[in-house]
Amino acid sequence: MEKPWHRHYDYDVPTTIRYPRLPVHELLHIPAGAYSDKAALYFYGTEMSFWDLRVQVLRMANALGTLGIKKGDRVGIHLPNIPQYLISYYAVMYLGGVVVNLNPMYTPNELVFMAKNVGMNTLITFDMVVPVIKALCREVEIPRVIVTKATDYIKGMPRSTAADLDLEPGWLHFSDLLEGSDSCRRPRVEVGPEDVAMINFTGGTTGLPKGAVLTHANLVAATMQCSLWGRATQQLYPAERRFVLAVLPYFHVYGNIVAMNYSIFTCSTQILVPRFNIDEILDIISRFKEIYFFPAVPTMINAIINHPRAGELDLDRRLKLLNSGAAPMPVELIDQVKDMGIFFSEGYGLTESTSLGISNPILGLKKVGSIGVPFPDTDVRLVDVEEGTREVPPGEPGEIIIRSPLVMKGYWNNPGETARQLRDGWLYTGDIATRDEDGYIFVVDRKKDMIIAGGYNIYPREIDEVLYSHPKVADAVAVGIKDQYRGETVKAYVVLKQGETATPEEIMEFCRERLAAYKAPKIVEFRDSLPKSAVGKILRRILREEEEARLKQNT
């Protein structure tokens, strides 16, 4: 059905898509057949072709099948962006297994909850976290643990052995397992679009993580929507020139879709980067004449384009298309990117919507501060925050709800949270936004981040924008903290640019000149850094918890 926002799509973006009824791992056949010898992966100077990647995936799938992994088994992948991640991911799916993505920075306690919650029977991990996994296995029985070394796929580096890695009795070595399997026969396991493909954990209202269950249909729909959304510029670059800078972690759904599966579907070379280190990233960028696509988060983009080396690297000519997600991008930063002449799009999505949902067109109309319009086959409504039933008129804040082939099946082993967030086919996001007369959506804030001070509703993102516009500020976030008189008050956490100095009063006065008095921060705390998630999203929750702990200590 034609929607009002469809008229804003770029000229070659379809309003609806006929999704092939296949599991996501079958997408690997596209580049392996069309561009067999092209590099699928670039990892610190070492390349692996699409053909070789497919061979390694099939050999690993057969090796895992021999170990007894079967359809429906939950397999934890506890790896950074290294070749072994892709090999494990697609191999598990060939067997009909369910990939459980695990952040390598998780503590043993966090992993214990997740392993028990999903009934994990296999874990694929790496050398740098072996002590953590040993602690995990003292609490939870995991029948199969497979360990690799992060550098095993870099030519010139010595290949690890089981003895090198100090493996526990019964644990398996990744490379030994792969080398012991010479079969490239596709496993004869029927995997359909509605089968569960992946579980990604996300925050919960009770404080416990929730495992969002994503099907093969979800992953295929997201991969195709992402690819077709960017087709206006993508088609200008033949496959031989398509390189994707893959810094976003693959254990996070954003990187998993927009960097990894996107690259496979579009026959692009993935430049694998296991961690974000600014000097390392700039060195990697310097080795490539052009990088077609760089999906990122605002903190990454800010660090790169404002680095002293940005000019000498000709980033404006070298980077072709930037995508920002996971957190709002300050208007000042958007203007910088536009001034450089780099194609740019900002989007919005959740783990529960397979990382996508709403985005600005690549070529078409963009509005300052807007996250854009809904993706193909995606319907978005804004409903009243209190009851969630009445659709609000243009200009009035409402909660974003989404209905789409992107929306998850539910939360693993958590019917209560599933019922709370999935209602009559609609995903209730907890994000508050407004919509203008053209259908463009403007995120106001997270419902749970809203500050209520002296009876006023304050959306901290508006304060963040003002803080970022201060010439001395590198990073900033506004948080509501308890206040005896106002209920809550606004506190700003600020990281200054290198070499700059400022006083709290200077920052507060700057905000008072640009915001209504009740919105301006009443407290400013300077910090060297702010707590961030694996993809660089500033974690207001951590700062609120710190304030609550400090308050308890003082009472």
Q: What's the pLDDT score for residue 205?
A: 46
Same domain, 410 and 480: no
Is 204 a member of any domain? no
Same domain, 80 and 176: yes
Same domain, 354 and 382: yes
User: Do the Cβ atoms of 169 and 146 come closer than 8 Å?
Assistant: no
List beta partners, residue 495.
475
Query: Which residue, 215, 231, 301, is CA-closest to 266?
Result: 231
Strands (E), 350-411: 357-359, 373-374, 379-383, 398-403, 410-411
Q: What's the pLDDT score for residue 457?
A: 65
Is 261 a member of any domain? yes
Query: Which residue, 470, 474, 479, is CA-closest to 496?
Result: 474
Question: Which of 446, 469, 498 is a domain's end point?
Answer: 446
Same domain, 396 and 257: yes
Is 334 a member of any domain? yes
Q: Can you give the CATH number for the domain in which 32 is found?
A: 3.40.50.980
Is 245 a member of any domain? yes
Number of domains composing the chain: 3
Instruction: Print the domain residue range for 505.
Output: 450-554
65-83: b (≥16 Cβ within 10 Å) or e? beeebeeebbbbbbbbbbb
Same domain, 476 and 437: no
Cα separation, 85 vs 223, in Å, equals 18
Same domain, 312 and 429: yes
Query: Which residue, 271, 228, 209, is CA-closest to 246?
Result: 271
Q: What's the pLDDT score for residue 461?
A: 78
Is 102 a member of any domain? yes
**Continuous H helices in 119-261:** 130-139, 174-179, 216-229, 231-234, 253-255
Task: Look up tokens 């070492």; give the residue.
Answer: 46
Cα separation, 295 vs 436, in Å, equals 27
Q: What's the pLDDT score for residue 206?
A: 47
* pTM to 2 decimal places: 0.83
Same domain, 255 and 322: yes
Show the tokens assigned to 162.
């089981």
Burial status of residue 540 (CB atoms within 10 A of its CB: 0-12, 13-18, 19 or more) = buried
Is 198 a member of any domain? no
Same domain, 10 and 30: no
Angle between helices 83-94 and 50-67 (to 10 degrees): 60
Same domain, 28 and 169: yes
Same domain, 154 and 176: yes
**pLDDT mean for each 10 residues of the chain (555 residues):** 90 95 96 97 97 98 97 98 98 98 88 94 97 95 97 94 91 96 94 97 68 98 96 90 95 95 97 93 94 89 87 90 80 86 90 95 88 96 86 92 97 94 93 92 76 71 87 92 78 94 95 85 94 78 86 75
Same domain, 163 and 234: no
Q: Can you give the CATH number for the domain in which 8 is found?
A: 3.40.50.12780
Same domain, 171 and 319: no
Instruction: Give the list of residues 6+ apart from residue 534 with CB closer than 8 angstroms, or none.
Output: 103, 105, 249, 251, 252
Question: What secondary structure does DSSP assign to 455-509, as a single string?
Answer: TEEE-HHHHHHHHHTSTTEEEEEEEEEEETTTEEEEEEEEEEPTT----HHHHHH
Question: Which of 411, 446, 481 is a domain's end point?
Answer: 446
Is 196 a member of any domain? no
Q: Can you give the CATH number for the domain in which 530 is found?
A: 3.30.300.30
CA dihedral 118, 121, 125, 127 (to 10 degrees): 130
Question: Which of 389, 419, 446 is a domain's end point?
Answer: 446
Query: Residues 285, 291, 297, CA angle at the centre, nearest 5°?
Result: 80
Query: Which residue, 465, 471, 492, 470, is CA-closest to 481?
Result: 492
Is 200 a member of any domain? no
